[in-house]
Structure 1
Amino acid sequence: MDKKFKIIFMGTPDFAVPALEALHQNGYDVALVITQPDRPKGRGRKLLPPPVKETAVKLGYDIIQPETMKGDEIAGHIRELRPDLFVVVAFGHILPRRLLDLPRIGPINIHASLLPKYRGSAPIQRAVINGEKESGVTTMFMDEGMDTGDILLSEKTEITADDTSASLHDRLAILGANLLIKTLKGFEAGNIVPVPQNHDQATGAPLLNKKDGHIDWKKPAKMLDPFIRGMTPWPGAFTFHGDKRLKIFKAVPVPLDTDDPPGTVIRSFPDELRVATGKDALSVLEIQGASGKRLSIRDFLRGYDIPPGTVLC
C-alpha cells in the first residue's frame, strides 16, 4: 500500500493504542511516536513504559519520550520531519501554539465525547456517572483551548444499563480508531469540512480523583447506580463501615419506601445487602473489603457481617 500523509503520533495510555494500530494497518507513514516517559508503577515501583510505547516498539516506529513539549529541541526535531498531520490521542501534554502550527494540514485530536459536550480529562466517566444514554467520539482540529477546536467528524454509541467506564472506554477506543481512518480518508478525498463548535452548548468533564468516588447515600438509588458504574474501575465507588472502607463495583436500584436514614442497611435475605438511599434502596451485588478481592455479595457476607440497622457513611 502506498504511504499516505506523514504523521507524527502523540499518545500515552491504552485508549490511544487502537488509533496507532489503525494507522499502521492502513499504511500511513508514522514518522515519529511521541509519548510520556516511563513511570514507576505497582507496589515495587518498577519503571514501566506506557502502552503506546510498547505498541510503537512492536510496530518498529521511532519513539521519543520528552518530559515537556515546550523546549526548542522538540520543536526543531518535529520541524525537520515536516509532518502533514499530528494525530493526538490522550497524550497528557499540552501543545504550545508554535507546535500546533507545524503540521501542513493541522493537528488532529480524537476526543472521547460528542463535542462540545464533556470537554476535559474525564469525558467517559462523567458521561456514565451522569446517566447519559449515548456517548461517542469526535475528531477535531486542535487549538490552544481545552477541546475547543473545529469538529471534523463524530460517531455515536449507546451507553447501556450495564456499561461501566471500563467497557465504554474500550468501545470508544475502537470507535475512535475507526473514525480517525475515516477522517484521514476524508482529507484524501477533499470532503472534510471543519465545523466550529457551539460553545454555548459546551459542558465540562474535569479530572476525577480518589475522593470523588465516595458514595453519597442521600442521592436517589437511580443516580447511585450510574455513579458506581462510572467510577468503575477508577477511582472506584466506596463507602465506610465504621473505619473500614468498602469498595462497591456493582449495584442495582430496588423500590423501597422506608423512613430509615440514607446509608442504613435494610433487613433482607441473608445473602443480600440492601442500603437505604435518598429515594428507594440500592442492592449491592459486587463488593471488596479493605483487604481482599472483589467478591459477589453472597461470598462477601459469608465472612463479613453487616447487620440490619448498620449505617454506612
Structure 2
Amino acid sequence: MENLNIIFAGTPDFAAQHLCALLASKYNIVAVYTQPDRRAGRGKKLMMSAVKKLALANDIPIYQPQNFKLESTLSEFSILNADLMIVVAYGLILPKALLKMPRLGCLNVHGSLLPRWRGAAPIQRAIWAGDTETGITIMQMDAGLDTGAMLSKVICPISAQESSASLYEKLAEKAPSALIDTIDKLIKGEIEPEQQDDNLATYAKKLSKEEALINWRDDAQLISRCVRAFNPWPMSYFKLSDKFIKVHQVSVLDIQTDALPGTILESYKTGIQIATGCGVLNLEVLQLEGKKAMPVQDILNSRRELFAPGRVLCVEGR
C-alpha cells in the first residue's frame, strides 16, 4: 500500500500545509484540485491559491473546475483512478457520485470536534461562542454537510486571547501529522469509524461583513470574542463620522458603568474605553480607513479629537 494513489483537494494555506505533509510521505499524489484563480488585492490581479503554488512547484497535475455539475468533469476525475481523496478547505461541494469513485473513499480534515460546528466557519464560531477547546476531526465524507463517520480527532485548547488567525496556526501544526497517521491506520484496518451523534450537532455558518459590525448594546465579553473570531477576516468594525474603523485588538476591563452603550469614557495611550450593554471594552489596536493597523497611542497622537470622552458611537449592528 505504500504506492497508494491520492487526489488532494484544497485551496488556502491551511490546506497547502496538509499537501506538504503528504508530499513528504510515502504516498503518491496523482492530482490536485483547487479553486479557480481569483482576482484579489488593490490591483485586482489574478491570484493562484496556496495549494496551486505548491502543486506547481512539485509538478503535480492541477484541476480547477468551477463545479462538478458537468459529466466531463466527473469523467476526468474518474480517469485518475485514485485509491483515496483527501479534502482540506477546498470550498466546492462534491457530488455523491464523485465521493464513491476512489476505492477507499474521500477523507475530510475539518476544523472542529464534530459534531460540534459543522459547516463553513468552525474555527471562528468556536471562538465566537466562547468555547474553551476545539480541534481537528478527520472523517469519511458522505453526501451530508460534515456528517460523515469520524476516524480520528485532535483536541486543541482555545486561550482567552485566541484569534482565528492564531487558532488556525495551532491547528495547522497538529492536523497534517494527524492526517498521515490516520491514513496509515486506515489502510491497515486499524480504525473503526465512529458515527456522529446528530443530536449534538451545531452549525458554523459562513461569516459575513455585515455580522462583523459591532453592536455596542452587546456585552463587552461578546464583542471581545467577535473581534477575535473575525480576525483576520472580515475584521470587526464600527462607524465614526461616516467612516469605518476596523478593530484588531481589544480587552475587557473590570469596570462597571451606567453610560449609554457606545459612549467613549476615556482615551488613554493604553486604550480607548467604550461603554457596552454590559461592561467596558478597551480598544487597543485600530485601523482607520486608508491606514495601517496601529496602537491607539499612535492614533491619539494625531486624531485625538475623534475619540473625545463623552462622544457616543453609533450602536447599530447585528
SS at match of 2:19: helix
Q: Are the aligned partners of 1:149 and 1:197 in contact in 2 as well (CA < 8 Å)?
A: yes
Q: Which residue of 2 aligns with 1:135?
A: 134
Listed as ranges, the gaps of 5+ residues in structure 1 are: none
Superposition misfits of 4+ residues, deviation over 4 angstroms: none
Partner-residue secondary structure (3-state), 2:28 = strand
Residue 276 of structure 1 pairs with residue 281 of structure 2: no
3-state SS in 1 of match to 2:137: strand
Tell me how far 1:189 sits from its aligned partner.
Answer: 2.5
Amino acid at match of 2:6: I
Which residue type is aligned with residue 106 of structure 2?
P
Aligned equivalent of 1:57 = 56
State the percentage of identical aligned residues.
39
Question: Kindly tell me: are residues 255 and 22 of structure 1, through their superposed partners in 2, closer, same or farther at Cα, counting changes over 3 Å?
Answer: same
The residue type paired with residue 180 of structure 2 is: I
- The question of whether the paired residues in 1 share the 8 Å contact of 2:270 and 2:284 is answered with no
Residues 63 and 210 of structure 1, relative CA distance in 2, 3 Å threshold: same
Structure 1 residues 255 and 96, CA gap change in structure 2 (3 angstroms): same
Q: Which residue of 2 aligns with 1:292?
A: 291
Aligned alpha-carbon RMSD (Å): 1.3
Cα separation, 2, equivalents of 1:166 and 1:131:
16
Query: Corresponding residue for 2:308?
Result: 307
Provide the secondary structure at the position in 2 that maps to 1:17. Answer: helix
Structure 2 counterpart SS, 1:31: strand
Asked if residue 233 in structure 1 is aligned to residue 251 in structure 2, the reply is no
- Equivalent residues, number: 312
Whichever residue aligns with residue 102 of structure 1, its letter is M
Tell me how far apart the structure 2 counterparts of residues 78 and 241 of structure 1 sit (CA, whole Å): 51
Q: Please say if 1:203 is aligned against 2:202.
A: yes
Give the distance between the partners of 1:242 and 1:270, measured in 2 at CA. Answer: 22
Counterparts of 1:256 and 1:109, CA distance in 2: 45
Amino acid at match of 2:236: A
Contact 1:241–1:311, Cα closer than 8 Å, also in 2? no
2:185 aligns to what? 186
Quick one: which amino acid aligns to residue 312 of structure 1?
L
In structure 2, the CA distance between the partners of 1:100 and 1:272, relative to structure 1 (3 Å rule), is closer
In the TM superposition, what is the alpha-carbon distance from 1:220 to its structure 2 partner? 1.6
8 Å CA contact 1:271–1:301 kept in 2: the answer is: no
- Sort the Cα spacing of 1:167 and 1:271 in 2 relative to 1 into closer, same or farther, 3 A: closer
Q: CA deviation at 1:270?
A: 5.8
Q: 1:65 to 1:268 in 2, by over 3 A?
A: closer
Cα deviation, residue 81, structure 1: 2.2
Checking the alignment, whether the CA contact within 8 Å between 2:15 and 2:89 is kept in structure 1 is: yes
TM-score (norm 2): 0.95
Give the counterpart letter for 1:11 in structure 2. Answer: G
Deviations 1:142-171 (A, max 9, x none): 111110111110101011122110111122
Structure 2 residue matching 1:197: 3-state secondary structure: coil
Question: Which stretch of structure 1 is more off in the superposition, 268-277 or 289-298?
Answer: 268-277
Q: Give a deviation string over 1:65-120, Cα, whole Å, max 9, x none.
A: 11111222222222222211110111111111110110111110000000000011
CA distance in 2, matches of 1:74, 1:3: 28
Give the conservation status (yes or no) of the 8 Å contact 2:218–2:277: yes
C-alpha separation in 1, matches of 2:271 and 2:79: 64
Instruction: Confirm or deny: 8 A CA contact 1:83 1:103 kept in the other structure.
Output: yes
1:176 aligns with 2:203: no
Q: Distance in 2 between matches of 1:49 and 1:261?
A: 47
Q: Which runs of 5+ in 2 are unaligned?
A: none
Q: CA deviation at 1:130?
A: 1.3
Supply the AA of the counterpart residue of 1:237. S
Q: Distance in 1 between matches of 2:270 and 2:186?
A: 58
Whole-angstrom CA distance in 1 between matches of 2:269 and 2:140: 56
Task: Please give the alpha-carbon distance, in whole angstroms, between the structure 1 residues aligned to 2:121 and 2:172.
Answer: 14
Tell me by how many angstroms 1:206 deviates: 0.4
Deviation, 1:256, is: 1.8
Checking the alignment, whether the CA contact within 8 Å between 2:109 and 2:139 is kept in structure 1 is yes
Letter in structure 2 aligned against 1:190: G
Shift of 1:62: 1.0
Q: Distance in 2 between matches of 1:312 and 1:215?
A: 10
CA distance in 1, matches of 2:2, 2:58: 15
